[in-house]
């Protein structure tokens, strides 16, 4: 599961690089978070970390990735969390692909997104056996 989480974090970093970069720290946080599925959680997560005041877009992605890792570490012995996380990760990989298609563009990480999706399905299946 750690490899999947790491891979997803790399994908998030890659996808975040397509957002605009010319804003102050609060403006960058606000602008970036409005482009996510959970803007309030995004803003509160980023603003709660002191690194966000000087972070660029890649730094913001690292802060969120660190937050995901912290949550995954706390919940790592919970099979239901593994199933839910795998479902979310697979959905996000697909969402990344869909966002490129919506903009009539080809994703430069299509193969990786498919691999993440497929590995998430495998993790869901195995973790479900533990429930």
Check residues 13 and 111 and name the one with the higher pLDDT: 111
As a whole number of Å, the CA-based R_g of the chain is 15
The band of 2, judged by pLDDT with boundaries at 50, 70 and 90, is: low
Range ranked top by mean pLDDT from 39-48, 95-104, 107-116: 39-48
Whether the full predicted model's pTM is greater than 0.85, yes or no, is no
Please state, in angstroms and rounded to a whole number, the distance separating the CA atoms of residues 117 and 48: 30
**Cα 107 to Cα 130: distance, rounded to the nearest angstrom:** 35
Spatial contact of 36 and 42, defined as CB atoms under 8 Å apart:
yes
Give me the pLDDT at residue 74, please.
Answer: 55
More confident call, 40 vs 84: 40
* Confidence band of 10 (pLDDT split at 50, 70, 90): low
13 CB-near residues (< 8 Å, 6+ apart): 58, 61, 62, 65
- State how far the Cα of 27 lies from the Cα of 119, in Å rounded to an integer: 36
**End-to-end alpha carbon distance in the chain:** 16
Give the per-residue pLDDT at 6: 57
Give the pLDDT band of residue 73 (cuts 50, 70, 90).
low
Domain segments of the chain: what residues? 2-129
pLDDT category of residue 128 using cuts at 50, 70 and 90? confident
| CA dist list (Å): 39 to 3, 21, 29, 70, 98 | 26, 18, 10, 20, 19
């Amino acid at each position: 599961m750690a490899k999947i989480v790491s891979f997803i974090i790399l994908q998030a970093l890659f996808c975040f690089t397509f957002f605009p970069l010319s804003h102050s720290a609060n403006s960058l946080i606000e602008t970036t978070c409005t482009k996510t599925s959970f803007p309030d959680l995004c803003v509160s997560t980023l603003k709660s970390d002191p690194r966000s005041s000087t972070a660029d877009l890649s730094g913001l992605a690292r802060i969120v990735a660190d937050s995901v890792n912290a949550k995954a570490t706390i919940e790592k012995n919970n099979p239901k969390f593994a199933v839910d996380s795998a479902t979310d990760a697979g959905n996000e990989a697909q969402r990344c692909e869909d966002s490129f298609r919506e903009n009539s563009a080809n994703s430069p990480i299509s193969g990786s997104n498919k691999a993440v999706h497929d590995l998430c399905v495998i993790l869901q299946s195995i973790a479900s056996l533990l429930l």
